[in-house]
Amino acid sequence: MSFTYAPALESRAVVDIAPSYGLFIDGEFTEATGGKVFKTVSPSSEEVLSEVAQGSAEDVDRAVKAARKAFEKWSALPGSERAKYLFRIARIIQERSRELAVLETLDNGKPIKETRDADLPLVAAHFFYYAGWADKLDHAGYGANPRPLGVAGQVIPWNFPLLMLAWKIAPALATGNTVVLKPAETTPLSALFFADICRQAGLPKGVVNIVTGDGTTGAALVAHEDVNKVAFTGSTAVGKAIARTVAGSDKKLTLELGGKGANIVFDDAPIDQAVEGIVQGIFFNQGQVCCAGSRLLVQESIQDELLDSLKRRLSTLRLGDPLDKNTDIGAINSAEQLARITELADSGEAEGAERWAPACELPSAGYWFAPTLFTGVTQAHRIAREEIFGPVLSVLSFRTPAEAVAKANNSQYGLSAGIWTEKGSRMLAVASKLRAGVVWANTFNKFDPTSPFGGFKESGFGREGGRHGLEAYLDV
């Protein structure tokens, strides 16, 4: 007998979205110089949430000047004083976590249980963690008295808007830098709410500035001659363009780019546990995760058993209103992203892979894509090579550990990988051969502020998180 779930809707009343938002420069909200605005919509309903200022090169210049002016006093503060602000921000994030979780779900489309149980606790944890480092930089392994760089220009993506903000801003402030942040065009609201948190925490004016806008705004920030450090998370194509822009300058650069993570399941793996890890690896945040386990490598002898179990599990996932606490799979972030996912999935079928998706009724409004897996995939297929950034899993098989490693490494990317086996020796032996920045064993998509994250090859360079995340913001 199966039970149906009654709707368990989170209240929208906990978040108050203003009809319009300006840029946050020098501690104040201000209109864009040209007066241009753009709309941010909710991906699950296509409802317009708010109007947001479109920052220009002049606005970026104003923000950088405010950050430069604030840098003098902020960098001169003792680390213990900077830490107090970071602790305060972390506590306010915890206090306002329900409001921020609902806001993130509305603006991004991901399920409320993810924003509530994964994103927001991690956001606060990053600020707490780097607050702890602020007065211990002499002991971080970068020599005595490491110095901040100056003004950090930071450009973040739409898949984890508030978490990516925390990954960037927390270490920058802890090390004494000031910040100009450009959030993604489709998800600007949580960054603007964070601006309000900065004011609530009494953060000195100009230490954090937030300039909303499209790609041209981000390009102006990256190219600004008075920015000392550029941090970018997003697509590999944009990352390459940024690298070309800063080449020849003395700007420090970290790039966290795309991925095509391999999730390797050996024949001795606990099947049920592995199935949960596969689902978490590719369907968390609708697969819109740079380190998603989008290539499943299964040992041939257990392939049929594993796929049967995986299909049964996918049939139980609930797709729908992201504000319903029972929802597992929310909306795709934008019409543009949905079109890309659809095009790549169609190419998989056209190239001869076998497509399967559970029976799934898609809502009539919004941007939706059913959880999908492909079998009969070869390494030549586009769906095995290109980052789809959606809830699409490509299944390949292998016979020996050496073949698994060769197939896992046969990618232009190198951000993440997973290994499923009960043998610790195999786990370590395979992990040491994988060219991936993070390797999970018998789990997937586990993040911690103490642990560094970053990639090899076209997945970028530099590390965020942990002690390693301090280096990008210090003159060492």
| Cα 323 from Cα 344, distance rounded (Å) | 28
CA atoms lying within 13 Å on the CB side of residue 243: 17
33 φ/ψ sector (left φ>0, alpha ψ -120 to 50, else beta): alpha
Residues 257/459, Cβ–Cβ less than 8 Å: yes
Residue 123, φ and ψ in degrees, nearest 5 = -60, -50
Note if 387 is an active site residue. no
Residue 193, φ and ψ in degrees, nearest 5 = -65, -35
Strand partners, 179: 152, 208
CA 343 to chain centroid, in Å, comes to 23
| Cα 151 from Cα 75, distance rounded (Å) | 11
The DSSP annotation for 267-298 comes to TTS-HHHHHHHHHHHHHGGGG--TT---EEEE
Q: Rounded to the nearest 10 degrees, what angle do helices 303-314 and 271-283 cross at?
A: 60
Residues 150/229, Cβ–Cβ less than 8 Å: yes
Per DSSP, helices labelled H in 54-188 are 57-76, 79-95, 97-108, 112-114, 120-133, 161-174
The DSSP annotation for 184-240 comes to -TT--HHHHHHHHHHHHTTPPTTSEEE----HHHHHHHHH-TT--EEEEES-HHHHH
Note if 386 is an active site residue. no
From 10, 185, 256, 458, active-site residue? 256
From 198, 290, 291, 464, active-site residue? 290
Residues annotated as catalytic are 256, 290
